[in-house]
Amino acid sequence: MSLKKVLFFIMMIAFLVSGNAFSEEGMWQLDRLDGDLLKEMQNLGLKLSGDQIYEPGGKGIAYAIVDLGGGTGSFVSDKGLILTNHHVAFTALQRTSSVESNFIEEGFYAESYDKEIQAPGYEASILISIDDVTDKVLDAAEGLESAERYEAIEDVIKEIVKKEEEGRDVKCRVSGFFGGMKYKLFTYFTMKDVRIVYAPPKSIGNYGGDIDNWMWPRHTGDFSFFRAYVAPDGSSAEYSEDNVPFEPEIHLAMSTKGIEEDDFTMIIGFPGRTMRYRTSHSIRYSQDWMYPLRIRVFGEMIDLFQREAEKNPAVAIKVASFDQMLNNAMKNYQGMLEGFKKAKLLEKKIEEEKQFAEWLSDNDKMHKRYGDVLPSIESLYRKQKSYRDKNFVLRFVGFGNQMMRGSGMLVRWSFEKEKEDLERDSGYMERDIPRLKRGLRTIQMSYDESVDREVLRYFLKMSQELPEDQRVEGFDSLLAAAEGSDIDEKIDNAIDDLYAGTSLGTVEERLRLFELPGEKIRESEDTFIKFALTLEKEKRKLRKLDKEFGGTISALRPELIRALRKWKSDELFYPDANSTIRLTYGTVRGYSPEEALHYDYITSLSGVVAKHTGEVPFNCPEKLIEIKRKGGPEKYMDEYLDDIPVDFLSTCDITGGNSGSPILNGRGEVIGAAFDGNYESISADYQFDEDLTRAISVDSRYILFILDEFSGARALLEEMTIH
C-alpha cells in the first residue's frame, strides 16, 4: 500500500465504525458515495462529480446501467442499444437458434430494427430510486425468532413492494445488507421486450472456450448487443411488433482513446453475491460439502449433455446453455476450493474466531451481548447437515429436467393461487404471473425428451444413494411401484411410465393447466403432475427448514458484523454483494501469481492468432486472420502494443452478475465490458486479495474493431456515440 493510501487510511479510521470506510476493495452502494470516497477516486483519476455518477432523481451515468437478470448491460445509444457480454446473451442465442440458423456458431447481426429478433425470457431493468426501509422491516421482526422472523420479514417486504408498485409502471425489490442489518427498496423500470441486435460468432465471442475460462491471458471478444423496446406510449410491454425502441435519458459513450497501466477505472453493475463476512462454519460447509458435491454432479451432468449432443445437432443446440452454465460454474467451484486451500482460508477463519472469542471474554459487556453468536451459527449449520443432501437432489432435479421443472412450478402454483395475494410465497404473487408464464414457455426452447429422460435417470439413481435419514419419500414410492428385478430396471420402467402419461411436453398444455383453479391442477391425471404432488410434500417441509435457518441467521449475522466492527475498528466494512447496483473502482494493472512470473495488463490480436489451431475452441475465423495479416486500422490500435487490443485487467472488485458491466474511464466513457475474473482470485468472493484479484474486460476498441472490420456493422457504429 502506498504512503498516500496509508495516511488516508489512518485519517479515515474514525469513519469505520459507522461503515463509511472505503478502499479499492469493495462494491459500493450508489447512495453512499460520500465526499471522502469520491476524493480518493478523484485522486486516482476520476473526472466526474458524485452527482454525475448518481443523483437521486437525477441524470447520472448510473441510470444508463441495465440489469439483465443475472448479468449487466449498459445503454450505449439513445435508441435503447445495450452492450453486454456474449455469454450473457448466450441463452437468447441458444433459444432462437436452429440447425439451419445457428446463431451460437455463426453469430447474428440485424441491420435494421425490423430484423432484430426477440430474446425469449429476457428483461431489461433500469434504476429509478433507492429508499431505506430498514425501520419498517426490522420493526415487523422485533422479538420474533426462527421461521416466524423469516415470515414476518417476508410479509412486510411483500407489503412494501405491493404498495410501491400499485398503479405504477415499475418493479420493486427490497434487499438486505450486512446480513439483514439494513434493508433498502430498489425501484426499477422494467422493459419486457428485449431483442437481439448483434452477437459475434462463437469463434470470437467464446474464443478459448472452457480451456481459457477464468484464465489470463485471455483473447476473447465476449460482447453482444441487445435493444430494449417499449409500447408506443413509453410504457413497459410484452413483445409486440407495435413496440418501439426505448429512448433512455442517459447513454454512455464508447471510447477509442485507449488505456495505459495505472489508469483509473470503475465498474457499475449488479454483482450477484459475495460472502466476505461468513464464519468458519459457512466456509467449512462450502469447502467440505457443497463445492465438492457440485463439482462431481456438474461434471457428470456435463458428460451426460455432451453425450446426448453428439447424437443430434438439434439436441446440441437445446443443451448448449446448460452445458455452458455448468462448465462455468464447475470451474468456478474448482477455483474456489483451490483458493481456499492455497490461502488456508478455513484455518484463518478458525484462528480469527478464536481471537474474537478471547476478545469477548475480556469484556463482560461485549460477551453478554455477542458471546452466543458464533455458537448459535455453528448450531444452525450442524442442523442443516440433517437435510442438506435431499434438499440438493430435490432442487437440482428440476434444473436440467424440464418436465420436473414445469410440473413442480404448476403444482406449487396450484396451492399458492388459492391464497390471498399477500399470503402467497414470494415469486408466486399476482405480479409474478407474467414471469411464471414466460418460464413455462421457455421450457420448450431447451426441452428434448431423450435428454430429459437421462437427467431424470441420473437424479433417481442419486436419490438411492442418499443417507437413510434423508431419503426422498416421493422418489422411493415411485420406484417401489415400478416393475423390475433390479433398481436400474425399476428406474427405466418408472421413467417410461412418467413420459407415457404426460402432456406437459407442449407449451399449450402447460399454459392450459396454469389457468385452471388450483384444485383442478392437482386433480390432473398427468403423470408428472401426480409425481410432483408427492414431491411437494417433502419440498414444503424443506422450505420450512430453510425459513427457520433464514430467519435465525438474519438475526445472527448482523450481530456478528456489529461485534466485528467493534473488535476490528481499523478494518474496512462494506456490504456483501446481493444483486443490487454497485460501483467498484481501481486501476489498470497486471499481476504476479507466483515468483518470477508476471502477467501484463493487456492482450492483443496477435495473441488471438498465435493461439489459433483451427480446432474448437481455438478456431479463429480465417477472415480475422486475414485482417490481422493486412494490419488493423490505426484508430483501433493500442500504442503500447502496437497492435489491436483485445482484453485487459483492472483491480476492480467484481463477481458473478457483473458480467457485461461497462468498465469506465475517469470521464465515464466505456473502455470495455467486464466479463470475468482471473482464476487466482475466484475465492475473492470470500476474501479479497489486492495482489491477485483482477477483473478481465474486453477492450472497447476490440468491440468496435470487430463490428467495423469483421462484421461490417456500420449501422451500429453510426448509432453509438464514439469518442
Say which of 193, 212, 222, 647 is annotated catalytic: 222
Instruction: Reply yes or no: is the peptide bond before residue 517 cis, omega within 30 of 0.
Output: no
The DSSP bridge pattern shows strands 662-664 and 264-269 to be: antiparallel
Which strand ranges, in their side-by-side order, compose the sheet holding 602-604? 28-29, 582-587, 264-269, 662-664, 670-677, 695-699, 645-650, 602-604
Neighbouring residues of 253: CB distance < 8 A, sequence distance ≥ 6? 76, 668, 669, 670, 720, 721, 722, 723
Residue 222 falls in the annotated catalytic set: yes
Question: CA–CA separation, 147 vs 120, rounded Å?
Answer: 36
Amino acid present at 18: S
CA-to-CA dists, residue 307 to 300, 315, 323, 454, angstroms: 11, 10, 11, 10
Spatial CB neighbours of 459, under 8 Å, sequence gap ≥ 6: 393, 396, 397, 401
> Which ranges of 244-387 does DSSP label H, i.e. alpha helix?
280-285, 291-311, 313-318, 320-343, 345-361, 364-370, 373-384
C-alpha cell at 441: 414457455
All 3 cell numbers of residue 706? 470487430
State which amino acid sits at residue 275: M
Q: What is the DSSP string of 40-53?
A: HHHHHT--S-HHHH
What distance in Å separates the CA atoms of residue 54 and residue 26, rounded to the nearest whole number?
18
Please state, in angstroms and as integers, the Cα–Cα distance from residue 54 to each residue in 35, 59, 522, 583, following that order.
13, 7, 49, 10
Please give the Cα distance from 549 to 557 (Å, whole number).
12
Cell 413442480, located at residue? 408
Closest C-alpha to 166, from 138, 152, 141, 187? 187
| Residue with the three cell numbers 416466524 | 148
Query: Which is nearest to 193 in space by CA: 238, 126, 233?
Result: 238
Task: Identify the active-site residue in 659, 683, 700, 711.
Answer: 659
8 A C-beta contact, residue 95 and residue 683: no
What end-to-end distance do the CA atoms of the chain give, in Å? 34
User: Which candidate, 401, 399, 389, 411, places its Cα nearest to that of 498?
Assistant: 401
**Cα–Cα distance between 144 and 142 in angstroms, integer?**
6
The catalytically annotated residue of 67, 74, 87, 647 is 87
Distances (CA, A) of 92 to 124, 208, 223: 13, 21, 13
* The residue type at 350: I
171 DSSP assignment: E
Which residues touch 439 (CB under 8 Å, ≥6 apart)?
121, 409
Location of C-alpha cell 448466450 = 90
What is the distance between the alpha carbons of residues 535 and 411, in angstroms, rounded to a whole number?
10
Q: Please, which residues have CB within 8 angstroms of residue 491's CB and are 6 or more apart in sequence? A: 457, 460, 461, 479, 482, 484
Task: Considering only CA atoms, give the Rg of the chain.
Answer: 26
Whether residue 219 lies in the annotated active site: no
Q: In terms of Cα–Cα distance, which of 81, 83, 108, 114 is closest to 93?
A: 108
Burial class (CB within 10 angstroms; exposed 0-12, middle 13-18, buried 19+) of 636: buried
Q: Which residues are annotated as catalytic? A: 87, 222, 659
